[in-house]
Amino acid sequence: MSTNKTVLAIKYRPQVFNELVGQSIIVETIRKSISLNKIPNAFLFTGIRGVGKTTIARILAKALNCSDPKKNDCLINNCSNCLQISESRHIDVLEIDAASKTGVDDVRDLIEFSRYGPTSSKYKIFIIDEVHMLSKQAFNALLKTLEEPPEYLKFIFATTEANKIPVTVLSRCQRFDLMRISFDELLSFLKKITLLEKKELDEDILKLIVKISEGSVRDSLSLLDRVFLSDNDDGKKLDLKSAQEIFGYFGKGYLLDLIFEIFKGNEKKVLELYKNIYNQGVEPKLFINNFLEIIYYLKNHQNINSLSSSLDFTDSDLERIKNLSNSVDNRSLLLFWEYSVNILSEINLVSNQHLAVEMFLIRLMYLKKEVLGTSDHLTLSNDENKNKDQIDENYVKNLHKDKNNNKTINQIKFSSQEQEKISIDDKKNSNKTEINSFFDLLSVCVSKKEIELKYELENNVNLISFKNNNIEISFNENLDKNFIKNLTTKLLDWTGERWIIMLSKKTGSKTMKEIEAQNKNHKLDDFKNSDSFKKAINLFPDLEIINVKDLEEDSNG
């Protein structure tokens, strides 16, 4: 490894295959292809940022052009070719950034340059980083050379988005998908770097870095650099809490506190906890994603074997997760998940996302009481001598009792349907309107002057069944998106009773307009078969019947 750089990501960049972190299978495959002299025309390395795509490309170039044919894997930089490639000054190895050279003219220059053989090594090698940035015309210009290049020419591509590369190019490359570096491998690597830098860091800080870096070696080294720069020279050891503040990271324990308070219905405490998290520099979207993760753990904690080894949770946190998960019904957790996913899209519509998250948390507190039809909240022990994390036994008993009662929700609620909170008790019996059939409903729409609702019922609704305050329908693509909401609201207002509108995939009957048109056609057909029409057509050969009713009205007149 190079030792003359100050930035860790550059200082400890691997120079030979043996120094690579992870990717052992890919390295073994490349070494075998070189030893057997079965080298593809083009290599493609793809994966997330910081897992070694460009690094492997450079090491591969050194392995192909190493002056020692027996070594062929550049164990040490002791030949002139390896040294020049490492320093990016080898005349036969050209590294190009496709992000800055995207045009077809750049590729044409490359192809023109490829016509000349290598000067001082076995292969002429083109390393194209972020190759997906090339234009469509540039890819097309590269195809022929890529498929049948001279024996001395090799291409090495690196990209983070292989899906943007044309299939015609992918089929001409030997593709290697670099995986994220595993937690243990990356942790071991960081421990090694810490020793080389003669620093002392708590292992929990290194674990935190590994988690935040998400399998990226470069990200982990950049984070480690920040920790080293923040380390005091006064002999005081950096602790985990300080490291979390450096990275703007908050532990999942904060979220557990917040969720506990949500189930207690303590609005003031919930907002206070969220503001403390927000003041640490946590973005609202990151907060929601972490909130979703906690909901997932609460729902599936029994199936997660690795949860106990996670840095995010202490033993106390794990006990709290277990107690809360056993005490909260799955319906609550699933609704919390749905609301949390929805807020991720809604949050972009608000200029102040911080306020949107606050309102989201308030909505969750009312969700259990209003939507789930229960006023129970999670109750924690207030005794200062008892552990705050213990759940009130009375709540647990009542909750399990509620679970055993197969209570049904008063009304089926569809995702596209909003329920107006109108008290039924306030309706007077004298104001009730009897609606016992679909035709009654149409008549009431006329009397109440609800023309738009009548139009939707006649033109876009196919009736399946109508009985006992239950209407089952199907509909066409022209149905207004607010139809269900408007209809349930009006029915509640007119009858003083709640109605269930069920949407079905069944075909149902024809719309009222379709039935009317069908009846009209039958009348026309019947009239055209009558003796009166036959006599009229003999007198007037060009006679055309438009509407039977109109003819009857004319005759009556």
* Half-sphere exposure in the Cβ direction for 27 (13 Å, CA): 19
Q: Which residues pair with 126 in a beta bridge?
A: 94, 155
Per-residue pLDDT for 340 more than 70? yes
- Which class for 347: exposed (0-12), middle (13-18), buried (19 or more C-beta within 10 A)? middle
Instruction: Give the residue-averaged pLDDT of 330-355.
Output: 85
pLDDT category of residue 44 using cuts at 50, 70 and 90: very high
Does CATH number 1.10.620.20 belong to domain 252-404?
Answer: no
Predicted confidence at residue 406, as pLDDT, reads 41
Residue of 301, 250, 297 whose CA lies nearest to 277: 250
What H or E segment, with its residue span, contains residue 154?
strand 153-159
Angle at which helices 284-300 and 267-279 cross, to 10°: 120
Query: Percentage of the chain surpassing pLDDT 90?
Result: 18
pLDDT category of residue 46 using cuts at 50, 70 and 90: very high
pLDDT category of residue 51 using cuts at 50, 70 and 90: very high
> CATH 1.10.8.60 spans which residues of the chain?
183-247
| pLDDT, tens digit, 9 for 90 and up, residues 113-150 | 888 889 888 999 999 999 999 999 999 999 988 888 88
| pLDDT, tens digit, 9 for 90 and up, residues 464-511 | 888 888 888 888 878 887 888 888 888 888 888 888 888 877 776 777
How far is it, in rounded angstroms, from Cα 435 to Cα 251?
57
| pLDDT, tens digit, 9 for 90 and up, residues 71-82 | 555 555 568 888
> CATH 1.20.272.10 spans which residues of the chain?
252-404
* Helix, strand, coil share of the chain (percent; to 5): 55, 10, 35
How far is it, in rounded angstroms, from Cα 291 to Cα 278?
13
Handedness of CA 384, 385, 389, 395 (dihedral sign): negative
pLDDT category of residue 387 using cuts at 50, 70 and 90: very low
Instruction: Give the residue-averaged pLDDT of 235-255.
Output: 75
Average per-residue pLDDT in the chain? 78
> CATH 3.40.50.300 spans which residues of the chain?
8-177
What H or E segment, with its residue span, contains residue 42?
strand 42-46
pLDDT category of residue 29 using cuts at 50, 70 and 90: very high
HEC secondary structure over 290-332 = HHHHHHHHHHHHHHCHHHHHCCCCCHHHHHHHHHHHHHCCHHH
Q: Quick one: CATH architecture of 8-177?
A: 3-Layer(aba) Sandwich (3.40)
Minimum mean pLDDT range among 10-14, 472-476, 542-546: 542-546
- Residue showing tokens 């591969």: 60
Predicted confidence at residue 154, as pLDDT, reads 93
- Residue showing tokens 């002392």: 200
- Residue showing tokens 């550059």: 10
Per-residue pLDDT for 407 more than 70? no
Torsion from C-alpha of 310, 316, 317, 319, nearest 10 degrees = 100
Minimum mean pLDDT range among 17-21, 30-34, 96-100, 407-411: 407-411
What H or E segment, with its residue span, contains residue 556?
helix 548-556
How far is it, in rounded angstroms, from Cα 472 to Cα 465?
5
How far is it, in rounded angstroms, from Cα 409 to Cα 207?
46
Residue of 59, 26, 33 whose CA lies nearest to 125: 59
How far is it, in rounded angstroms, from Cα 448 to Cα 133?
62
Does CATH number 3.40.50.12280 belong to domain 183-247?
Answer: no
| pTM of this structure | 0.58
| pLDDT, tens digit, 9 for 90 and up, residues 170-217 | 999 999 999 999 888 999 999 999 999 888 888 888 988 988 888 899
Are β-strands 42-46 and 93-97 bridged in parallel, bridged antiparallel, or unpaired? unpaired
Per-residue pLDDT for 329 more than 90? no
